[in-house]
Structure 1
Amino acid sequence: MGFEALKKIKAKHFAPIYLLLGTEGFLLKEVRDSIIDHALEVDEHDFNLSYYDMEEQPVDIAIEDAETLPFMGERRVVVLTNPFFLTGEKSKSKVEHNTDRFLSYIQQAAPYTILVIHAPYEKLDERKKIVKQLKSIAEVIEGQPLGERELMAWMKGRAEQNGAVLANDAAEELLKIAGVNLSVLAQEINKMAMYIGAAEQTINVETVKLLAAKSIEHTIFELIEKMVHRKIDEALAIFYELIRNNEEPIKLHALIATQFRMLYQVKDLSEQGYSQQKMAGILRVHPYRVKLAAQQSRYFSRKELMKMIEDLAEADYEMKSGKVDKRLAIEMLLLKLAPVK
């Protein structure tokens, strides 16, 4: 993230063009909203704020708007989303863009307009002249998925913005419960900071366990954790609670199967010497999920994990073909992991 650029935005020192690039939509949305909030008064939005989706509207219209003088204000903010013509990807959109007009504008941008280009892509096509020009002229702010350290720092910073301190173990617990979605984490941290108030100031593990909303993915993680440690009675108790909450057994089976496949993949890659960051890139998941999977995979041999994956595949077939009751199929899977007495 471009922290210096954010400081300038808050000080109302704006660049004429911003390129918000990356797949971490929550971070880039916050930057976009910060530009709008600091550049325009709320009552100016109707006149001087425009959004254009490049998959639905030609860039020419957006540029015409950017070249139009602001109405009853000092500035105009024009936001372009989904500029697929900056990538090497093929789009289903049939909209044709006059990229020469776009290139001409960025080379001589209107001094009264802030053009915000939100490109929700991992990268742009650097071979294109238009991309090279844009990157050399615009204020580029990247929002890519955060690594574990960056994520922890972001969470602590979020707590500080709300006048609270997030303890390290509380942050770890919150990640386990809520996952790595920044929007969800922001909501949870805001809620906890309001709950503890100014008197306590510190968000601890107890607060997280009390207030954090558990996702189905976290409950499945807890179920897998009990399976890993062969605590089958507790695993069954979690499974029965999910059934009481009207969760569909086939959906639960799919989530369990996904997690066990990840355990096998992480174990395999780990034994080949791959780092957690590299594994995250190969498996296209967040590094924190790889870390948790690596911890759980230690309790299984590769042979045991492969047998579990085969048993899951067989159970999937039997459930979907009606050969066995869906609930019973999962109960039998769990019982296969019970320690021999």
Structure 2
Amino acid sequence: MVVDLWGKIKNHRLSPLYLLYGTESFLLTETYELLIRTVLPEEEREFNVSVYDCEETPVQMALEDAETFPFLGEKRVIVVKNPYFFTAEKEKEITHDLKKLESYITSPSPFSIVVFVGAYEKLDERKKITKLMKEHAEVFVAAPLAEKELREWMMERTRQSGAMMEENAVDALLQLAGTNLMTLANELDKLALFVGPGGTIRQETVEKLVSRTLEQNVFVLVEKVTKRQIDEALQVFYDLLENNEEPLKILALLASQFRLLYQVKWLSEKGYGQQQIASILKVHPFRIKLAMGQAALFSEEELTAAIRQIAEADYEMKSGAMDRQLIMELLLMKWSEKTN
């Protein structure tokens, strides 16, 4: 888990080799930047940090750098990006000396930390070089965080800023900002700055300072529809128009949300749990949790009808048959009653 790895790094329990891969590029970047900050004082980073890209530079050049003594310091950090030779990707024009890499992996430089970083979903475990690397390196897979891990990460980032965060504030932030780590990091940093060192981020602080993303506003719009609160649903829509959001874009996100609700409902009825559904649909588990709550308020027929009505509204908007805002208003008013 990312918080555990970061704890080891901060406590200087370091490895000479790291292999960081996965689809959460934000976590990959945060991890190797933490390594650099922990290992090297700021004044040494200009001289003792090197970054290589294996799609442009042979890996042996990075290894030669790793075997060079640090300049005016005790350590070097070598970041090696896109090490595609650990995956099933085809060889590229660059010639990498993997024999030299094998030799380095088994006997790494004592004064360098080499970090291999790749935004790959999986590695080729059949390859000798991959097996050797996983055997000798500290390996971190930057997969989307489960809800528990996401909450721990949010708490840890807040602590790093010298503040604390209440549980209901975490809930509120996830509801308002979604689960994108870059967005959450920016909001957490802003909230921590607002409350100051030693301060506590509370639910009311989040609600005061954090604006909903477009996707979260669409989620609220659907929430109002599920409760047949047409006046409030229309107000959310008008607020989006005030923010210069196009009706066609709002409709597209509504279509995506209702498709998700239909898929979640169907899979739930087949006996799949939250984590399984998240894996099948490749959607964050927290979003699946919220969708399960919304889907329970619709029948399968209502969801099918809503998706059909959205398709009809989409055609009307694109054909110019009627004013786009009016089309959305009529659709929402139609949903104020049963959607079948």
User: Does residue 1:150 correspond to 2:141, yes or no?
Assistant: no
| TM-score, normalization by structure 1 | 0.92
**Residue of structure 2 in register with 1:310 after alignment:** 308
**Residue of structure 2 in register with 1:97 after alignment:** 96
Matches within 5 A, 1:39-118: 39-90=39-90, 94-118=93-117
More displaced 10-residue stretch of structure 1: 255-264 or 328-337: 328-337
Flag structure 1 segments of 5+ consecutive residues without an equivalent: none
**Is the 2:8–2:14 contact (alpha carbons within 8 Å) kept by the matching residues of 1?**
yes
Matches within 5 A, 1:239-318: 239-318=237-316
**1:210 aligned residue (208, 212, 231):** 208
Amino acid at match of 2:218: I
Which string of whole-angstrom CA distances, capped at 9 and with x for unpartnered residues, describes residues 312-337 of structure 1? 11211222222232222222211111
Query: Per the alignment, do residues 208 and 226 of structure 1 end up closer, same or farther by CA in structure 2, a change over 3 Å counting?
Result: same
| TM-score, normalization by structure 2 | 0.92
RMSD across aligned positions (CA): 2.0
Flag structure 2 segments of 5+ consecutive residues without an equivalent: none
How many Å apart are 1:230 and its aligned residue? 1.2
How many Å apart are 1:118 and its aligned residue? 1.1
User: Does residue 1:220 correspond to 2:218, yes or no?
Assistant: yes
More displaced 10-residue stretch of structure 1: 188-197 or 229-238: 188-197
What is the aligned-residue identity percentage?
Answer: 50
**Residue of structure 2 in register with 1:31 after alignment:** 31
Matches within 5 A, 1:184-199: 184-197=183-196
How many Å apart are 1:193 and its aligned residue? 2.6
Query: Per the alignment, do residues 62 and 254 of structure 1 end up closer, same or farther by CA in structure 2, a change over 3 Å counting?
Result: same
Which string of whole-angstrom CA distances, capped at 9 and with x for unpartnered residues, describes residues 44-85 of structure 1? 222221111222222222222222222222222110112122
In 2, Cα distance between equivalents of 1:97 and 1:3: 33
**Residue of structure 2 in register with 1:333 after alignment:** 331
**Residue of structure 2 in register with 1:320 after alignment:** 318
In 1, Cα distance between equivalents of 2:255 and 2:331: 11
How many Å apart are 1:198 and its aligned residue? 5.3
In 2, Cα distance between equivalents of 1:2 and 1:331: 45
In 2, Cα distance between equivalents of 1:10 and 1:142: 19
Query: Per the alignment, do residues 129 and 189 of structure 1 end up closer, same or farther by CA in structure 2, a change over 3 Å counting?
Result: same
In 2, Cα distance between equivalents of 1:22 and 1:316: 36
Query: Per the alignment, do residues 272 and 220 of structure 1 end up closer, same or farther by CA in structure 2, a change over 3 Å counting?
Result: same
Which string of whole-angstrom CA distances, capped at 9 and with x for unpartnered residues, describes residues 268-307 of structure 1? 0011110000000011010000011111111110011001
**Residue of structure 1 in register with 2:15 after alignment:** 15
**Is the 2:3–2:156 contact (alpha carbons within 8 Å) kept by the matching residues of 1?**
no
Query: Per the alignment, do residues 11 and 299 of structure 1 end up closer, same or farther by CA in structure 2, a change over 3 Å counting?
Result: closer
Aligned residues: 338
In 2, Cα distance between equivalents of 1:101 and 1:324: 67
**Residue of structure 2 in register with 1:126 after alignment:** 125
Task: Give structure 1 regions of 4+ aligned residues with deviation exceeding 4 angstroms.
Answer: 2-5
